[in-house]
Amino acid sequence: MEQVLIFQLGEETFGLEVALIQEVVESPLLHYIPRAPNHVLGAINFHGNILPVLDLASYLGFPSGGRDHRVVVLPPEVCSLALAVASIRRIIPMDAEALLPFPREQQEQLYIRAVLNYQGTMINLLDTTRLLASLETV
């Protein structure tokens, strides 16, 4: 059974499959990147690799608020990138039968591939493929 890391962006609850996460890093030291877009908070030194840190809430248009002291590092085979989110909650199991379809016309705008109904809480599953593709055009 797959697992999902739950986090907040604004008032919305999002999830990211654990298989798409290399590590959650506690309080990484952020280094300023000159002339970086506003949604790039800086860069971290992750085991000798320099990774940009994307402010996911800002990039997706959620109101800026507090950020978790941890960042989510994606595996290198997915992308050399770390994600800053408002609040990392916990890891939950994902039952594929609990996935609800998400309107296709909104998938591209919101980067949501499906909605997971977990104990009455609706969790938006982040569509990393669309998210990363959109970053390539920025």
pLDDT, greater one: 76 or 138: 76
What is the average pLDDT across 49-60? 95
Q: What is the 3-state secondary structure (H, E, C) of 79-117?
A: CCCEEECCEEEEEEEECHHHEECCCHHHHHHHCEEEEEE
Assess if CATH 2.40.50.180 describes domain 3-136: yes
pLDDT of residue 137: 75
21 touches 70 (CB < 8 A): no
Q: Tens digit of pLDDT for each residue in 55-108?
A: 999 999 988 778 999 999 999 999 999 999 999 999 999 988 888 887 777 666
Q: Output the furthest CA–CA distance in the chain (Å, rounded).
A: 45
pLDDT of residue 108: 62
Q: Tens digit of pLDDT for each residue in 107-127?
A: 666 789 899 999 999 999 999
